[in-house]
Amino acid sequence: MVLQGAKVRIRQPGIGLEFRHIRDAPRTLAGPVFPHTMSSTVMHVLVHTPAHAKMGSVLSYSHSTELPPGTLVRVPLGARETLGVVWDAPPHPAAAVGANKLRDIVGVLEGIAPLGASWRALLEFAASYYQRSAGEVALAALPPPLREINDEQLQRRLKRHAKAAQAAAEAPAASTPPPLSAEQSAALEQIGTQPGPFLLFGTTGSGKTEVYLHAVEALLQREPTAQALVMVPEINLTPQLEARFSERFAGRFGAHSVVSMHSGMTPAQRLQSWLTAHHGQARIVLGTRMAVFASLPQLRLIVVDEEHDPSYKSGDGARYSARDLAVYRGKLEGAKVVLGSATPSLESWYLSRPASEGGRYQRLAMPSRIGAPAGDKPNAGLPTVRRVDMNHQPRGVVFSEPLLNAIKERITRGEQSLIFMNRRGYAPVLHCAACGWKSQCKHCSACRVFHKVDRTLRCHHCGFTDRVPRHCPECGNVDILPMGRGTEQLEEHLGELLVDVKRPDGGAVRIARIDADSTRLKGSLEEQLAAVHAGDVDVLVGTQMIAKGHDFRRITLVAAINPDGALFSSDFRAAERLFALLMQAAGRAGRDASLGTPSDVWVQTYEPGHHLYVSLRAHDYPAFADTQLRERESAGMPPFSAQALVRAEARTQEAARALLDAAREVACNDMPQWPGWAEVLARVTVYPAIPSAIQRVANVERAQMLVESDSRAALHQFLGAWGDVLAQCRERPECRGIIRWAVDVDPLGI
């Protein structure tokens, strides 16, 4: 496999960005090199070096000709060959070793244009902000086949790709958009004329998607090469959205103008989408959080739908927030950014306060639902929220009488109800009343969940599963009992309660359940959702999965069975998440005004007076947000402080804690000799290490330590300098047994 130097040479103008610390200072394996005498050039190549390796991820290689930064190359790394990206010359000249040690670039990936300067800047920023190596972040952002296939295979793929792109694919005729509401027009006008970033604060059903569609359309028409990136939180929502975008645009801008990017696609599909976007044929990329790293050389607009959704935050590797990176990327590339939600994250809400108070986002409000008669009272068309005070219900009752009656009424009218509860399985614990045995997982500090369908006990953390024992494993008692409730039990219980209720056609009630268990098989979620849409289901029971985004037209009742847990959670974001979930769920109800029946949202609670439920009843997100923000401010929590969480995993809890304690000790006592450290430390609080909420998972002990500051800059100065300390502390004898550690910047769950 001998490849020639890249034929394409693209130089993008510099962006003038400055990074406070480039963590990956270059390390060369080569020494004084004299290109003119050796007729080869030293190239800096970004590769994915092992985590916490002592070398940076920009290495030096030689090549016969100079390659433009962004060129994809294959290089030797140790004994293997790996994908690399030609990187900009590092700010500090590389250290010199022996010239004979400089290894050659093996080959250039022909036919793929170099990655642009702003893409590279985005990756550098993401790596530095989230405390990872640039090599890791950049290589993870590229489609997997580029890493794995050889050049021959790649060339075949590229040929096939070119053919597919040329094929005169049948594009559907463009659908005509509906005339916009006054609120939609006003929002669009702002997006068209103001710089943003925008927070589109639009109630569910206010027509936010239509605003995105129009904004994208205006852009594509105005600029013949411009590209737009539209992100959604869930893979499940991309087909719906893709259909909507394709229907609108494929006819006018070509069948390949709309592509998707999410982890549910095959590697070949991902490569195809990536290339289409990278080479400019795709005008619109729809995707989940990973799409924020798509190479889009002509990016002009970024939309982040449901911007509050926690799934924009990555759960492993570089724990980046795609929403926050989207805003940064917009600034970097001069692209407009629109964040949309009916229940924005408190961070974004706070950032969109008036500019006179320091706000940086422009808030665009769309308070009315589409189809609600103009001039009607506020919240017209939104469902009525009913709270059931469970303190006045008989003990142990699951469905209060008024709720049950309301569900029955819907069934007899031929309408649908949606009941949700945030716990799957039949019961969270099995227990023996005689000896106190519990269905503890032997690998985790958690109980295994009882699944009645297949009579198993399953650990939801490590997956450990076995059959339900016939008798108590400790004392032999045969009466082992479920404790608590999950969706499976809810479904069963509801079946018993509704056994005598008839549908309008005289048939028996049909109850379905949708959760991670019922949708394990590929395609089963789509099937089940289709059944709901087709009206083959009267009552749908499920977890939060069913509350999000799906456009169920015939649902007129939504009920949350026992959501109070979030009010007392140690996670300070739990209430925010619950409010968003309930508002979302409420948004599922009454979407079809033509049904003519009023819709209800029922909440069964022991805390009916809690401000969360009071605001929910009034559909008043701003009131909820203001109360929450006041609480956060007085407690010095985000967005009034910046946080990072250091997590350590080890064979023993002692080792995990020892690493964190040692690093804390160094930060507070040894590092102050560093110039300027005292000032940084004065603004940063390093809390003592504690065991994680679930201390042991799959026999790995976990501990965590919170680092907090009222200044984001101080926090990052601290983390930048402190990263190496963690690596050094790991070598101490008391830290033997450490498996891994990582810093999570702006963590979501603490």
Q: Is 344 in the site for ligand ADP (CB under 6 A)?
A: no
The runs of H, that is alpha helices, within 167-236 are: 182-193, 208-222
Among 94, 123, 219, 441, binds Zn ion (CB under 5 A): 441
Q: Is 600 in the site for ligand ADP (CB under 6 A)?
A: no
The one-letter amino acid code at 86 reads V
Q: Using DSSP, how many helices (H) and how many strands (E) does the chain show?
A: 20, 28
User: How many residues of this chain interact with Zn ion, rule: CB under 5 A?
Assistant: 15
Residue 184: name its binding partner from ligand ADP, Zn ion, none (Cβ under 5 to 8 Å by kind).
Answer: ligand ADP
For residues 472 and 539, which CB has a smaller minimum distance to Zn ion in the complex?
472
The one-letter amino acid code at 507 reads G
For residues 127 and 372, which CB has a smaller minimum distance to ligand ADP in the complex?
372
* Residue span binding Zn ion (CB under 5 A) among the ranges 197-205, 341-349, 398-406, 432-440: 432-440
Residue 472: name its binding partner from Zn ion, ligand ADP, none (Cβ under 5 to 8 Å by kind).
Answer: Zn ion
- Residue 236 φ then ψ, to 5°: -60, -25
Among 71, 184, 439, 489, binds ligand ADP (CB under 6 A): 184
Q: Is 205 in the site for ligand ADP (CB under 6 A)?
A: yes
DSSP-assigned beta bridge partners for residue 738:
650
Closest approach, Cβ 370 to ligand ADP, in A, equals 4
Please tell me what DSSP assigns to residue 427: B
For residues 317 and 476, which CB has a smaller minimum distance to Zn ion in the complex?
476
CA distance 27 to 577: 44
Nearest alpha-carbon partner for 109 in 136, 92, 85, 140: 85
Nearest alpha-carbon partner for 42 in 115, 111, 93: 93
Residue 379: name its binding partner from ligand ADP, Zn ion, none (Cβ under 5 to 8 Å by kind).
Answer: none
Q: Is 599 in the site for ligand ADP (CB under 6 A)?
A: no
Closest approach, Cβ 261 to ligand ADP, in A, equals 21
For residues 181 and 260, which CB has a smaller minimum distance to ligand ADP in the complex?
181
Residue 444: name its binding partner from Zn ion, ligand ADP, none (Cβ under 5 to 8 Å by kind).
Answer: Zn ion
Among 40, 57, 71, 209, binds ligand ADP (CB under 6 A): 209
Residue 462: name its binding partner from ligand ADP, Zn ion, none (Cβ under 5 to 8 Å by kind).
Answer: Zn ion
Q: Is 428 in the site for ligand ADP (CB under 6 A)?
A: no
Q: Is 210 in the site for ligand ADP (CB under 6 A)?
A: yes
Nearest alpha-carbon partner for 61 in 50, 83, 115: 83
Q: Is 308 in the site for ligand ADP (CB under 6 A)?
A: no
CA distance 179 to 185: 9
| Helix (H) or strand (E) segment spanning residue 35 | helix 35-38
Measured distance between the N- and C-terminal CA atoms of the chain, rounded to whole angstroms: 49
Q: Is 75 in the site for Zn ion (CB under 5 A)?
A: no
CA distance 53 to 81: 18
Pairing of strands 511-514, 539-542: parallel
* Residue span binding ligand ADP (CB under 6 A) among the ranges 201-209, 488-496, 662-670, 715-723: 201-209
The one-letter amino acid code at 692 reads S
Closest approach, Cβ 431 to Zn ion, in A, equals 8
Q: Is 217 in the site for ligand ADP (CB under 6 A)?
A: no
Closest approach, Cβ 699 to Zn ion, in A, equals 9
Closest approach, Cβ 385 to ligand ADP, in A, equals 18
CA distance 319 to 313: 6
Closest approach, Cβ 203 to ligand ADP, in A, equals 7
Nearest alpha-carbon partner for 140 in 318, 3, 262, 260: 318
Nearest alpha-carbon partner for 381 in 594, 582, 550, 212: 594
For residues 137 and 366, which CB has a smaller minimum distance to ligand ADP in the complex?
366
Among 57, 204, 400, 528, binds ligand ADP (CB under 6 A): 204
Nearest alpha-carbon partner for 109 in 359, 278, 312, 262: 278
The one-letter amino acid code at 575 reads A
Q: Is 615 in the site for ligand ADP (CB under 6 A)?
A: no
For residues 302 and 689, which CB has a smaller minimum distance to ligand ADP in the complex?
302
Q: Is 208 in the site for ligand ADP (CB under 6 A)?
A: yes
Q: Is 435 in the site for Zn ion (CB under 5 A)?
A: yes
CB 475 within 8 A of CB 434: yes
Residue 207: name its binding partner from Zn ion, ligand ADP, none (Cβ under 5 to 8 Å by kind).
Answer: ligand ADP
The string of DSSP codes covering 662-722 is HHHHIIIIIGGGSTTHHHHHHTEEEPPPEEEEEEEETTEEEEEEEEEES-HHHHHHHHHHH
User: How many residues of this chain interact with ligand ADP, rule: CB under 6 A?
Assistant: 14
191 token code pair: 């997006």
Residue ranges in 363-382 that form contacts with ligand ADP under rule CB under 6 A: 370
Q: Is 35 in the site for ligand ADP (CB under 6 A)?
A: no
Residues 6 or more apart in contact with residue 623 via CB below 8 angstroms = 611, 614, 615
The string of DSSP codes covering 510-558 is -EEEESTTTT-STTHHHHHHHHHHTT--SEEEESGGGGSS---SSEEEE
Q: Is 688 in the site for ligand ADP (CB under 6 A)?
A: no
Residue 205: name its binding partner from Zn ion, ligand ADP, none (Cβ under 5 to 8 Å by kind).
Answer: ligand ADP
Omega of the bond leading into 639 within 30 degrees of 0 (cis): yes
The one-letter amino acid code at 165 reads A
Among 97, 140, 437, 493, binds Zn ion (CB under 5 A): 437
- CB burial readout 320-337, b (16+ within 10 A) else e: bbbbbbbbbbbebbebbb
Among 202, 344, 542, 590, binds ligand ADP (CB under 6 A): 202
Closest approach, Cβ 265 to ligand ADP, in A, equals 24
Q: Is 341 in the site for ligand ADP (CB under 6 A)?
A: no
DSSP-assigned beta bridge partners for residue 45:
59, 86
The number of beta carbons lying within 10 Å of the beta carbon of residue 30 is 20
* Residue span binding ligand ADP (CB under 6 A) among the ranges 190-198, 199-207, 484-492, 701-709: 199-207
Residue ranges in 164-183 that form contacts with ligand ADP under rule CB under 6 A: 178-181
Residues that bind Zn ion (CB under 5 A): 432, 434-435, 437, 441, 443-444, 459, 461-462, 464, 472, 474-475, 477
Residues that bind ligand ADP (CB under 6 A): 178-181, 184, 202, 204-210, 370
